[in-house]
Amino acid sequence: MSNFGNKKLKIMIENSGNDSIFQENINRGIESGLITFNESESKIIYSCSREYATNFKNQEEKVRASYFVELVLDYQYPKENIDIEVKVERRIPDDRADIVIYEDKELKSPYIIVETKRDGISDSEFTQAIEQAFGNANSKRAKFAIVVAGNTKTAFDVLGFNSSEREKNVIADIPIKYGKTPKYKFVKGDASKDLKIAYREDLIGALKKSHSSVWQGGKLAPTTAFDEVSKLLFCKLKDEKGTKNNETYKFQIGTQETPDDVATRIQKIYEEAKIDDPQVFKDRINLTSEIVYNVVEHLQGLSLNKTDLDTKGVAFEIFMQDFFIGKMGQFFTPRPVVQFCVKMMEPQQSLKVLDPSCGSGGFLLYAMDEVRQYAEENYDEFEAFKHWHSFAEKKLFGIEINDQIARVCKMNMIIHDDGHTNVIGHDALDLLSKMQIQNSEFKENSFDIILSNPPFGAKIKAKEVKYLKSFDLGKNGGLERQTQKSEILFIERCIKFAKKGTGKIAIVVPEGIMTNSSLQYVRDYILANCQLLASISLPESAFSHFGAGIKSSVLFLRRKKDNENIGNYNVFMAVAKQVGISSTGREEGNDLFSEHSESIYNQWKLYLKNKLSYKNTENCYTVKLSEINSEGPFNATRYIWKPKFKNITGKIEDIANIVNDKITPSSKENEFSNFALIRMDELQNNPVKIENIIYCLGSEIEGSLKIVQPGDILLARLGPSMLNRKIVVVPKISHSIDYFVASPEFIVIRPKKEKDSFYITGVLRTDLMLKYMYSKTRGGTPSRYRLNEEDFKLIDFPLADDKIREAKAKSFDKSLVSYYKSIQDAEKKLMESHIVLEEDL
């Protein structure tokens, strides 16, 4: 056995992270010589009554190895009295007991039968394992049996009851070293019997198994199941905190206790807790006794209270993230975005923080954690706890319209050691007087920091709510709007919640708010009431893993004092291409917040040190308010890229006109007219010339079209089409027509001199100009970004004298003709090859 080494296992439990109770136990087993591994760690050798070697790659073997170590080191059974993979007589020929503990070294008197299963099996699979353990125990005439599936364990007194009994013979735990069975296993304050501090992976596993037990494969709605799990977690925390030293915990299964016994005791904990904290949960635990019993099995051995906050926080976040994705993704903001916003806002113990659309509580928890970390770095343990806990209790506020999610948020905060006191379930857009019935602190002009990722796209209708007219943005010229988008009203609510002069806001907004011409009044409202501190563009993938693929940005604002005039100030802008999580949920680079000096957060800190001398980077830069006022949009992608031309520039209108003459072909006066139609969809990508002109009567064409003439340049307005170089010159035609028309998705450019057609077309098709024009597009999603005619008129355009323009136009036209001829020659040769092949068929 020289190839086996007594070393700590390098690669422990697949997909289980760095730490778990399995890893701890196996390392203890290695150190004590109970188990060893080969060099590749693919095989394990047990040192029991015999040397037994087996494959270590399957998950069940990891559970068996872990529990074997516990049996010897914690339960004090002699390893010489333990055998593994013991054949069971009168059973299925290949059936074997995983572990058998004997009363004697001769291995003739079986005492305990152990059935081990992989962690995470379903409740029905666990029940089957119980039957297997009983069959083996009865066949071997063992006194006790226990089923171990990861941290879920259930033990039975087999000899003391008839062979069909499965409920009354449950025992709290197997005896220690052939002793008596305990009434209860877990006792507070007893070093050998107290609850174990949970490893992150063990806690995640227990939470997932609990949710699976409650969800029952779909019998309950996912949100309802999550709600019920939260109630039981609430009970467990209350029990851990309320149990006195040397007393047994109530959140556990005792010897000979039925599911009804356990569920009744848990319900009592819950009812008592509701009296102390009626806002957390209002109704009963709506689960059967059997399901409550199963959840207690999963959770009873782990301590939520003693486990450190970082472990609990990460475990609960991962558990919630897995649950929310695809089910309730709209209530979950990706951790990197949350962390970045909180860091930018710099929460402190004295500042009041509000999230008016708090969802599962991410912003509030990271704000609390920021204050906690500061306290732990600067104060002793007692003062640190008092410092951040006071902040959590008195300075954190949240509003969530969905009652179930509001309870999830509260439970999340309780798991993190509180901060749930000022979270209410209510519509944050409702009249403040109604919110103040629940909590009088929800007032305008009263919060230092607002953090929000509000719901997008919901239409608030005047006929359905009474509060729309109470918003400035709910009116148009003094008259109440019939509808308004929820995100627009949230912007106003966040601004008014913030303290005048000092209150800061970080709010996620959809791209339409940033760019759409029709929403300029919203941007005007923001600038009238706030200083725009920063605009950070997020990639479309930022939220797509959570079921929302809308392109968005984060605005950082400071509410101004009444009549405050700041002047032409600088605005920090940045474009994040990666935010730490890809569209598929995998970790990736993080432009927002990282140790890298060019991360957006680090650049922001440099900018704050000296705003006037800040040096732009590839994705971070500053822009004057006057430029934003001039162009209108807020999005950072609009201003980040402006080419440096070698020669003199002007505007497109210096050498051409933007034509917008329209006609409706199907109208009565035009239905029998002859039309020549150029459709954008008919153009191939990177077109050399227009090959498909449709000749038809006006009655055959729907909608309004743009009138064009030969020599005009057609520029595709739609972003993706523009980038595919759908930019062409309208050709001369020989047909007799009444009207030459083109799709409305074109911008029509009419050169003032005919010879400039191919010069302008050639310039517009360059990578430099395409990138420049695309940065000026507007829209809600990248696939629908459009270049407005007015924005196109404002871009810088390279000018040259007549001779240079004429020479470049001829050169570009010649290149197009040559390219087109090459394509035709290639197509001709391809067709000839088809004919040759066809002759041999």
pLDDT in tens, 239-289: 998 999 999 999 999 999 999 999 999 999 999 888 877 766 778 899 999
- 3-state class of 168 per DSSP? coil
Per-residue pLDDT, averaged over 692-719, amounts to: 94
Measured between alpha carbons, how far is 187 from 194 in angstroms, rounded to an integer? 5
> Pairing state of beta strands 449-452 and 746-751?
unpaired
Whether the pLDDT of residue 64 is over 70: the answer is: yes
The string of pLDDT tens digits covering residues 178-223 is 999 999 999 999 988 999 888 888 888 888 898 889 988 778 877 7
Whole-number pLDDT of residue 747: 97
Q: Are 489 and 474 in contact (CB under 8 A)?
A: yes
Residues recorded for the chain: 841
Q: What percent of the chain has pLDDT over 70?
A: 93
pLDDT higher for 428 or 402? 428
Q: What is the mean pLDDT of residues 518-529?
A: 95
Residue 369 and residue 417 in contact, taking contact as beta carbons nearer than 8 Å: no
pLDDT at position 779, please? Answer: 80
Amino acid at 820: Y
Sheet holding 552-559, edge to edge: 423-425, 396-400, 353-355, 449-452, 504-510, 552-559, 530-537, 570-575, 620-624
Helix (H, G, I), strand (E, B) or coil at 15: coil
Q: What is the residue-wise DSSP string for 86-115? A: EE-TTS-TT-EEEEEEESSTTS-SEEEEEE
pLDDT confidence of residue 15 = 38
Contact 558, 502 (CB under 8 A): yes
> SS in 3 state form for 221-290?
CHHHHHHHHHHHHHHHHHHHHHCCCCCECCCCCCCCCCHHHHHHHHHHHHHHHHHHCCCCCCCCCCCCHH
Average pLDDT over residues 104-128: 93
Average pLDDT over residues 129-147: 92
Give 79's pLDDT tier (boundaries 50, 70, 90).
very high
C-alpha to C-alpha distance for 341 and 507, rounded to whole angstroms: 9
Q: Which residue has the higher pLDDT, 378 or 642?
A: 378
Backbone angles phi, psi at 575, to 5 degrees: -120, 115
Strands 196-197 and 302-303: parallel
334, two tokens: 């990706």
The C-alpha atoms of residue 415 and residue 307 are separated, in whole angstroms, by 10
Q: Tell me the pLDDT tens digit for each residue of 153-174.
A: 999 999 877 666 677 789 999 9
Cα end-to-end distance, the chain, whole Å? 68
Give the model's pLDDT for residue 640: 86
State yes or no: pLDDT of 812 exceeds 90: no
Which one, of 520, 562, 555, lies nearest residue 537 by Cα? 555
The C-alpha angle 171, 175, 179, rounded to 5 degrees, equals 130
pLDDT in tens, 306-351: 887 777 777 777 777 666 555 554 556 888 899 999 999 999 999 9
- The residue among 675 and 832 whose pLDDT is bigger is 675
> pLDDT (tens digit, 9 = 90+) per residue, 443-487?
999 999 999 999 887 899 999 999 999 999 999 988 999 999 999
Tens digits of residue pLDDT in 659-679 = 999 999 999 999 999 999 999
Q: Compute the mean pLDDT over every residue in the chain, rounded to the nearest whole number.
A: 88
| DSSP class of 811 | H
Distance CA 128, CA 466 (A): 57
Q: What integer pLDDT is reported at residue 93 of this predicted model?
A: 56
What pLDDT is recorded for position 2?
35
pLDDT greater than 60 at residue 1 = no
Ranking 37-51, 178-192, 634-648 by mean pLDDT, the lowest is 634-648
Structure tokens at 515: 């760019």
Whole-number percent of the chain with pLDDT over 90:
60
Distances (CA, A) of 483 to 476, 495, 519: 11, 20, 14
